[in-house]
Amino acid sequence: MGLGGGGDTGAQSELLWQYVLELVGKDRPRMLYLPTAIGDHESGSVAFFERFARRTEASHLVTFPYPPPDLRAVILEQDAICVSGGNTANMLAIWRVHGIDVLLREAWEQGIVLWGASAGMICWFEQGVTDSFGPQLAGMDCLGFLPGSACPHYDGEEQRRPLYHRLVAEGFPAGYAADEAAALHFRDGALVEAVASRPGARAYRVEAAAGRAVETLLPTRLLHA
């Protein structure tokens, strides 16, 4: 479940969180938060617990000063795992050093719901559009659980759409883009549906044809309270 970004208001974000909980399908699921992309900053974990502690068995996994000794159990005993936004490149480097990437793949194969916004969206694909290396956006290799590429914040940052189009036209793998407040739900590597928590937020398929990027608007279901 990849979110192009959070909702523009608290009510819009709440619709997206509720959608995720419905995907898990349990009254009080075990939900793990990975704030690696923000350097395990406490503010991210506080916000996560404020959103989810009353309706899930919420926990978080930090990697500083080092991951917990029961890392495998911590990851694989969850019903859902939420990945924060932030620096995707730094996050993936830390995950790979400690084998978190391998455990997340095992979690995915077991049917644990993996989700997140921004870095937590693109990390699951083969490649993604990121600002991990500075203010200038760039493409980067990601985990490759899902085929193709991804671009978040599609309507929220003016350089996202033109850069993604250029990358795809130049050989970047075809993929998906999501506006702020839009999300893409995948199962078994295939897109199930696109949803949005505000009118006008959409998701897109972007692929190359005749040397240029072609953008196709995807059916996007508007969520309601």
Q: How do residues 133-165 score in pLDDT, each as one tens digit?
A: 998 999 999 999 999 999 999 999 999 999 999
- Domain parsing of the chain, residue ranges: 2-222
Asked whether the bond before 65 is cis by omega within 30 degrees of 0, the reply is: yes
Architecture of domain 2-222: 3-Layer(aba) Sandwich (3.40)
Q: Is this structure's pTM higher than 0.85? A: yes
Q: Is 94 helix (H, G, I), strand (E, B) or coil?
A: helix
How far is the C-alpha of 86 from the C-alpha of 20, rounded, in Å?
20
Q: Give me the pLDDT at residue 9, please.
A: 59
3-state helix, strand, coil in the chain (%, to 5): 30, 30, 40
Q: How do residues 99-119 score in pLDDT, each as one tens digit?
A: 999 999 999 999 999 999 999
How far is the C-alpha of 36 from the C-alpha of 61, rounded, in Å?
8
Q: Is 153 a catalytic residue?
A: yes
The one catalytic residue in 118, 132, 149, 197 is 118
Q: Give me the pLDDT at residue 6, please.
A: 63
How far is the C-alpha of 54 from the C-alpha of 39, rounded, in Å?
25
Q: How do residues 177-206 score in pLDDT, each as one tens digit?
A: 999 999 999 999 999 999 999 999 999 999
The one catalytic residue in 153, 165, 185, 197 is 153
